Chain A
Amino acid sequence: MELFFEFLATLKNTVVDVLPILSIILGFQLLVIRKPIPHVKQVGFGFIYVLIGLALFLLGLEKALFPLGKMMAEQLTAPEFIHSGEQVLKTIHWSDYTWVYVFAAAIGFSTTIAEPSLIAVAIKAEEVSGGAINANSLRISVAIGVAIGIALGSYRIVVGHPIHYYIIAGYVVVVIQTFFCPKLIVPLAYDSGGVTTSTVTVPLVAALGLGLASTIPGRSPLIDGFGLIAFASLFPIIAVMAYAQLTQAKAHQAVRTIEKRKRIKINKRKLKQKQQEPTKSSIQDKQDR
């Protein structure tokens, strides 16, 4: 029963969040387009499903995953865990935090796989591309990008480098990739950067950044705690373009191997013919004798 009331409260919040969008859609539909919404019943039910789904999703996250994930981020970054009971030294070494990087990558990957807005974009991309882009492969490459991004971002907080060097270097990679990448994937890759950081990823990643920045001597949680999300939205762009490049390279290779096989076959045939000719003549020779 208590759970039900909690659900109602979450549902109310979700509805309030959606209200501006809903009023803009309805306002333009009724005042500017001035046509009834096609399949209005189905669309209405769809909206209700989305709201109920989001409310359940958020409530479940609050109940199960967020407290645990946040606690883990705190425990993994706590000095007691890092230095395993030894005296805390003033200077820290980046390799003391190996488990933090592993956790950052793992949590980045797994939360991205569950991110609803990424699922939406992946479904649309598969539909629009006629199946040329596989929804699951797209999601996995985005997730790998987020994993690398958050691990690198945690490393940056530990060593204390200024953020803009990393971001600018990332931009340079994106620019170079853009020129060598299949044109079809470029807009989708750019989009995937913004999509990844949403309901599931942001709270957990923010907890990780805050935990790291507040336990490492010399880092300010308020200044260094920011910036992980920027990493999580830059690296998926690189990852998706890399995935497209790999697929393209594989396709080229496949074409090349097929051509190679053909050539080998033709050569073999020619060889056989050449070999057969003398044998024929030898048989004839025998017959002649």
Chain B
Amino acid sequence: MNQQFLVFLKALLGSCKDLLPIILVIAFFQFAVLQQPMPNVGDILVGLVLVVLGLTFFIYGLEMGLFPIGESMAQAFAKKGSISWLLTFAFCLGFGTTVAEPSLIAVAKEAASVAASGGIIDDTLASQLSYANGLRFTVAFAVGLAIVIGVLRIIRGWPIQYLILGGYVLVVMMTMIAPSWIIGIAYDSGGVTTSTITVPLVTALGVGLASAIKGRNPMIDGFGLIAFASLTPMIFVMLYGMVIS
């Protein structure tokens, strides 16, 4: 019990260290640059304690739950030897985690109001909603496809750089022909798709697969799934913009 408490205390200290930069930055700008007193100090202190506790619990649970489940599923699929089931799982994981992602919903909504005020779609709630939903499903499909391609790459052992660089070339070419109002949103959509729970799961899946399949190096082949998940949405959102206009 005592030892466990000590481990917990150590983790808590680690979380404090992780948060220290933010606290320093905010304090510096508040006092030195803006030269204002700190508003509601009590609330901020309570909030900081919550953030530190939350980060500690998250990292604790990560190594207990998220990493093991990701790796054990990867190993089970590798043992089962059915590639089609593995790819189905990969697609579901990518699509399912993205379609409900809160930051994606927020970005899609904002993008819809841009499009409405720019006269690309009708300025009605219904058309805005259908546009936002279209965007969301496009991104979710793109992420699903990305995980499928990434998993296929791990199984076959394709070198990642050619795939990613090929994707970049595609992004650049699409940028030339896509309507200009979609480009900023498309570029951003690559970044918002990966949530805090998806990332550890997908990483563990990739590393687990690469260590279960003979001849794959977990370092070279295991990482890279998230890279695909932040590349394909750009391509597909630009495609969506081209189809709409």
Residues of A within 8 A of B (CB): 3, 16-21, 23-25, 28-29, 32-33, 35, 37-39, 42-65, 68-69, 72, 75-76, 81, 99, 103, 106-107, 109-111, 113-114, 116-117, 119-121, 123-125, 128-129, 163-164, 167-168, 171, 174-175, 178, 183-184, 186-188, 190-191, 193-200, 202, 222-224, 226-230, 232-233
Q: Is the interface of B mostly helix, strand, loop or mixed?
A: helix
Contacts of A59 in B (CB 8 A): 47, 50, 54
Provided the pairs A76-B34, A187-B227 are in contact, do residues A54 and B59 lie with their beta carbons within 8 angstroms?
A: no
* A184 and B181 contacting across the interface, CB-CB below 8 Å: no
Instruction: With a 10 A CB-CB cut-off, give which of A59, A171, A194, A202 has the most chain B CB atoms.
Output: A194
Provided the pairs A32-B85, A42-B68, A53-B58 are in contact, do residues A65 and B26 lie with their beta carbons within 8 angstroms?
A: yes
* B21 and A195 contacting across the interface, CB-CB below 8 Å: no
Q: List 11 additional contacts besides A57-B50, A72-B26; criterion CB under 8 Å.
A: A25-B73, A32-B89, A49-B61, A50-B61, A59-B50, A64-B45, A110-B22, A125-B219, A175-B168, A198-B195, A198-B196
Cα distance A227–B188 in the bound complex, in angstroms: 6
Cα distance A70–B63 in the bound complex, in angstroms: 32
CB of B110 within 8 A of chain A? yes
Question: In the complex, how many residues of chain B place their beta carbon closer than 8 angstroms to a beta carbon of chain A?
Answer: 103
Provided the pairs A49-B65, A64-B46, A110-B25 are in contact, do residues A120 and B200 lie with their beta carbons within 8 angstroms?
A: yes
* A33 and B80 contacting across the interface, CB-CB below 8 Å: yes
Contacts of B164 in A (CB 8 A): 190
- Which 3 A-B residue pairs are closest in the complex by CB-CB distance? A46-B65, A64-B47, A49-B61
CB of B239 within 8 A of chain A? no
* A195 and B226 contacting across the interface, CB-CB below 8 Å: yes
A interface footprint on B206-236 (CB within 8 Å = 1, 0 otherwise): 0100000000001111111111011000000
* B56 and A190 contacting across the interface, CB-CB below 8 Å: no
Contacts of A226 in B (CB 8 A): 111, 114, 184-185, 187-188
Cα distance A19–B61 in the bound complex, in angstroms: 17
Contacts of B64 in A (CB 8 A): 42-43, 45-46, 49
The contact sample of 14 A-B pairs, CB cut-off 8 A, is A53-B55, A57-B55, A60-B49, A64-B46, A64-B51, A65-B51, A116-B59, A117-B195, A164-B175, A188-B223, A190-B160, A190-B223, A223-B184, A233-B190
